[in-house]
């Protein structure tokens, strides 16, 4: 199982939110590139980079930070936040993203999402499936749909989606464990490559995710709050 450290960006800073609430913003670093280099120096190969400014603005904003990290490191970056059009996707790839995560687009404009999936390929476009109480959420997690997360993922798998980042918003930033029941259901009912996100607080959480068959796990706040040190994460890989 791949372990992917996360960097979320607001106003050029590395921040973490709690349950997606912008009012809970806590900054940890003023230099995302320096943070990315730190991850790379410990042996990590992947990075989850989220443009929270873009998510709120409904368009890609922090592509220059993406570009600098892609240029100055060898990290394979999956980029999300503010992806609403194929132009946003193209900008992300031009700036060095290895993969792009599209969440709101897949709910609000399925036809455009599928066109982008066909254009760029299932290995390049990640389905963002963020949910609360099993229902898919969009618009920087500010709106909740009536769509069940497992049904949502299963339907898009039929359309060619290979990877999904699945985040339980109620767990995000809480350091209280992961949504294993939902993840198991997804793995049992689909063949999707599941990237688990939200709630990781210990290496035991990671062992459980690996045992159930997750393709990868994203770790954010647990790193910044020193719940898990980077050497322990590398060993868990």
pLDDT in tens, 94-120: 999 999 999 889 988 999 999 999 999
Mean model confidence pLDDT for the chain: 91
Q: pLDDT class for 133, splitting at 50, 70, 90?
A: confident
The answer to whether residues 92 and 83 touch, using CB atoms and an 8 Å cutoff, is: yes
Residue 23: Cβ within 10 Å count: 6
Residue 31 has pLDDT above 90, yes or no: yes
Nearest to 125 by CA among 94, 88, 164: 164
User: By CB neighbour count within 10 A (0-12 exposed, 13-18 middle, 19+ buried), where does 93 fall?
Assistant: middle
Instruction: Give me the helix-helix angle, 149-158 and 180-189, nearest 10°.
Output: 30
Residue 59: Cβ within 10 Å count: 17
Domain that holds residue 68: 2-236
Q: Report pLDDT for 104.
A: 87
Q: pLDDT class for 33, splitting at 50, 70, 90?
A: very high
pTM of structure: 0.93
The span from the CA of 237 to the CA of 225, in Å, is 20
Structure tokens that stand for 121 in this block? 């390929």
Residues listed for the chain: 237
Pairing state of beta strands 135-138 and 125-132? antiparallel
Q: pLDDT class for 48, splitting at 50, 70, 90?
A: very high
The span from the CA of 204 to the CA of 6, in Å, is 19
- Residue 183 CA, chain-centre distance (Å), reads 15
Nearest to 216 by CA among 162, 176, 170, 175: 162
Structure tokens that stand for 223 in this block? 């790193």
Structure tokens that stand for 29 in this block? 């670093």
Please count the structural domains in the chain.
1
Q: pLDDT class for 180, splitting at 50, 70, 90?
A: very high
Structure tokens that stand for 188 in this block? 């049992």
- CATH number where 45 lies: 3.20.20.70
Pairing state of beta strands 46-51 and 125-132? unpaired
Which residues have a catalytic role annotated?
Answer: 8, 130
């Amino acid at each position: 199982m791949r372990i992917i450290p996360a960097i979320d960006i607001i106003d050029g800073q590395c921040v973490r939110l709690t349950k997606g609430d912008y009012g809970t913003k806590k900054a940890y670093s003023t230099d995302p590139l320096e943070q990315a280099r730190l991850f790379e120096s410990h042996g990590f190969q992947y990075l989850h980079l989220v443009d929270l400014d873009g998510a709120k603005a409904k368009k890609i904003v922090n592509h220059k930070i993406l570009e600098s990290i892609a240029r100055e490191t060898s990290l394979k970056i999956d980029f999300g936040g503010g992806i609403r059009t194929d132009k946003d996707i193209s900008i992300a790839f031009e700036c060095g993203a290895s993969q792009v995560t599209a969440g709101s687009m897949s709910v609000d404009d399925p036809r455009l999402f599928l066109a982008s999936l066909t254009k760029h390929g299932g290995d390049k476009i990640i389905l963002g499936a963020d949910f609360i109480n099993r229902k898919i959420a969009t618009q920087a997690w500010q709106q909740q749909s009536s769509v069940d997360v497992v049904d949502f993922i299963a339907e898009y798998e039929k359309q060619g989606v290979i990877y999904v980042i699945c985040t339980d918003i109620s767990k995000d930033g809480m350091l209280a464990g992961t949504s294993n029941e939902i993840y198991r259901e997804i793995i049992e009912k689909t063949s999707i490559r599941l990237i688990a996100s939200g709630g990781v607080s210990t290496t035991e959480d990671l062992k459980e995710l690996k045992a159930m068959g997750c393709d990868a796990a994203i770790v954010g706040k647990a790193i910044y709050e020193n719940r898990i040190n980077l050497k322990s994460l590398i060993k868990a890989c």
